[in-house]
Each structure stands twice: as structure tokens, then as C-alpha cells.
Amino acid sequence: MLPEQRQRRRIVVAITGATGVQIGIQTLLALRKLNVETHLIISKWGAETIKYETDYTATTIKALADFSYNSHDLGAPISSGSYKIDGMIVAPCSVKTLAAINAGICDDLITRAADVCLKERRRLVLSVRETPLNEIHLRNMLDVTRAGAIIAPPVVGFYTHPASLEDAIQQMVGRVLDLFDLDSNDFTRWHGLKDNI
């Protein structure tokens, strides 16, 4: 068998049951615009949150990805380290998912794909969405960071003077994509203090 030939970058996107599913949706749209091959997993509660927070359905969001998988499909290609990907973004990442990834509990495809990223030393970005954070959350974030993940919570950059929620989300998504050396060109970057006097 010949080695796999691949031109496009390949990123797994997972949407879990935390508020802020629009971040995951906008991540998919930005990756599509950048011609990145996307592999999507939506958890059961991610699908419920999509219905509650947006006008989308899980089915319409799956159509934005190149490939989508049932969250219980542990036989999917992305469950194996031999399947080459460039990394994974969990946005939003619930604290339940964070805890499972940190504990190495691979009982669904999201946690298994994340575990594969860690063991294969591939980029894993967790956009943890919870406030306030308790000690358990903080310990899990510290430990999973020590294991190689990057915690990138959805934090608004007010220096961009966002005029809308969409502007704020674009900035959050753009910063996450920066971690993969992908430039969405959809947000204002910091260029130093300006003299407004």
C-alpha cells in the first residue's frame, strides 16, 4: 500500500455541551474558508445546546464539515493515531469533557480523538467555557496543559472594539486558529497603543 498523499491540512472539531456553540460553528466556517479538511464530532449535549442557542440543527452544522461522526463511533478513522491529522479543537469545551480528557477516559469519540492528539504529540486546543472556575476545573486545566494540550478559553479582546457579538466571536476563533498557524483574516490584531490625543 502506498503512503497516504495529503495536500490539505486536516483538523478535528468537536462541539460539546457548554454554552457558546457559535464558537465551534464559526470555527468550522473559518476552516472551510481556509480550505482545511474538517472532521466534526458533536456530543449529545452539544446538539441540544445548538438547538437552544442557535437557529441551526446538528444536521445543518454537520453539512459544514468534510466528515462528521457519531460521538459514540470509536471505530472512526480519527480514533487511531495512525490516521494523520494536524490537531483538534474542542469549542466550546465543557468542564465534563475537560475532566474526561485529563483523566484519560476515552469513552466516546471526542475524548478518544483528544487522547490520540496527546499521545501522538499533535496540537489539542480546548476552548473551555465555564465561569466561575473552581479548584477542580483549574487543576484539570493545569494537568491537561502539562500533558500537552492548550487551554484557550473564549475571552473577548476589548482592544478590538467589537461592535457586535459576531465581531467578538470572530476574534476568539481567529486566536484559536493562530495556534495552528492559520490566519482567518477576520479580526483586528493588536498593533500597539495609539496616541488618541
Domain boundaries, the chain: 10-180
Q: What is the pLDDT of residues 116-171, one digit of tens each?
A: 999 999 999 999 999 999 999 999 999 999 999 999 999 999 988 999 999 999 99
94 assigned to a ligand binding site: yes
Burial class, 30, CB count within 10 angstroms (exposed 0-12 / middle 13-18 / buried 19+):
buried
CA gap 23, 107 in Å, rounded: 24
Strand, helix or coil at 91? strand
CA distances from 155 to 108, 120, 176 (A): 28, 28, 11
82 assigned to a ligand binding site: no
pLDDT at 186 over 90: no
> What is the number of alpha carbons within 13 Å of residue 57 lying toward its C-beta?
2
Instruction: Indicate the average pLDDT of the chain.
Output: 94
96 assigned to a ligand binding site: yes
19 assigned to a ligand binding site: yes
175 assigned to a ligand binding site: yes
97 assigned to a ligand binding site: yes
The model's pTM is 0.94
CA gap 72, 77 in Å, rounded: 13
Instruction: Count the residues in the chain.
Output: 197
CATH match for 10-180 among 3.40.50.1370, 3.10.20.440, 3.40.50.1950, 1.20.1050.10? 3.40.50.1950
Q: 60: how many CB neighbours lie within 10 A of its CB?
A: 12
pLDDT at 4 over 90: no
DSSP state of 11: E
Among 71, 93, 75, 79, which residue's Cα sits nearest to residue 17? 93
149 assigned to a ligand binding site: no
46 assigned to a ligand binding site: no
Residue 191 pLDDT level (bands cut at 50, 70, 90)? confident
